[in-house]
Amino acid sequence: MTRNLFWVSFFHYLRRLSRGYLGILIFVALPLVIVWVLSFVYSQNTEEQIYVFGYNMISTNISIGMMLIFQLSGGIYLLNYLNHDLIKPMKWRLKASPCATYTLVFSGTAACLVFTVLQGILIVVGTSLLQDAYWGNVWIVIFVIVLVSIISQFLNITLFLYIRNVNTAEYISWFLSWAMAVLGGLIFTLPDNAFFSFMKQYGTPFSLAQSAIRESGFLGTSSTNMLVCIAALLGIAGILAVLVIKLGRRKLI
């Protein structure tokens, strides 16, 4: 019975996600446009070699960062669904249904995870075909996208359970995503010292994912470093999962 309710809820959330055309434009089309514009601007103001082995290095650096920042922000989908289904008046209709609250949350999380992973893959494919971006080992990239999406979903569930105000939680989610991008060196060049070097390579989920993707191909120098970054992402996802379970038992059940 529970399994059937999960799949019904899962496909229900997927249908709701697929109807949100504005979200698709923001999380897929917008990153592609930003990559194209920034690549054009930077290519006009550099004397360094742009193409290496047939790949555009400017587009590559921008594409990796843009894909990751929008993946980290993808949990906002789930944040808004949780608010609509568990906080707003809809919650009384749902509480009267045979579906347990934790089943709804789990199915919504799974649906948002699948949807945001697909969006990340579309960005990878789009920048590869249109901007000559280099992504390294495609399987590593997909695995990193999955891990970053999981972290994003769990982080937004945590914000939802702690704050219970969707607008505040959404602002904090966006702020954290962009703050991680800044510390990862996406927005501007960071000072050349040990602290910022560590933050750029390992200090945040953004940095870890960025380093893992770079190390999976000729942009990196160490497969060991790639595995360390992936292990760290798995550890962060695991910690957030435990936190979500504990908070969920106390505030949802």
- What does the DSSP assignment read for 121-162? HHHHHHHHHHH----S-HHHHHHHHHHHHHHHHHHHHHHHHH
Q: Which long-range contacts (CB under 8 A, 24 or more apart) does 218-227 make?
A: 218/53, 218/134, 218/136, 219/60, 219/134, 219/136, 220/136, 226/140
Number of domains the chain is built from: 1
By the 8 A CB rule, do 207 and 191 touch?
no
Handedness of CA 154, 159, 252, 8 (dihedral sign): negative
Q: What is the pLDDT of residue 188?
A: 78
Domain span at residue 183? Answer: 2-251
Task: Inform me whether the pLDDT recorded for 105 exceeds 60.
Answer: yes
How many whole angstroms separate alpha carbon 163 and alpha carbon 141? 32
Q: Which residue has the higher pLDDT, 122 or 6?
A: 122
- Model pTM score: 0.92
Residue 55, helix vs strand vs coil? strand
Closest to 237 (Cα-Cα) out of 142, 115, 146: 146
Q: Which residue has the higher pLDDT, 26 or 120?
A: 120
How many whole angstroms separate alpha carbon 59 and alpha carbon 91? 45
- The terminus-to-terminus CA distance of the chain in angstroms comes to 18
Q: Which residue has the higher pLDDT, 11 or 20?
A: 11
How many whole angstroms separate alpha carbon 79 and alpha carbon 203? 25
Mean local confidence (pLDDT), 211-228: 88
Provide the mean pLDDT of the chain: 86
Mean local confidence (pLDDT), 149-174: 89
Q: Which residue has the higher pLDDT, 16 or 228?
A: 228
Task: Inform me whether the pLDDT recorded for 50 exceeds 80.
Answer: yes
Q: What is the pLDDT of residue 47?
A: 67
Q: Where residue 106 falls among pLDDT bands split at 50, 70, 90?
A: confident
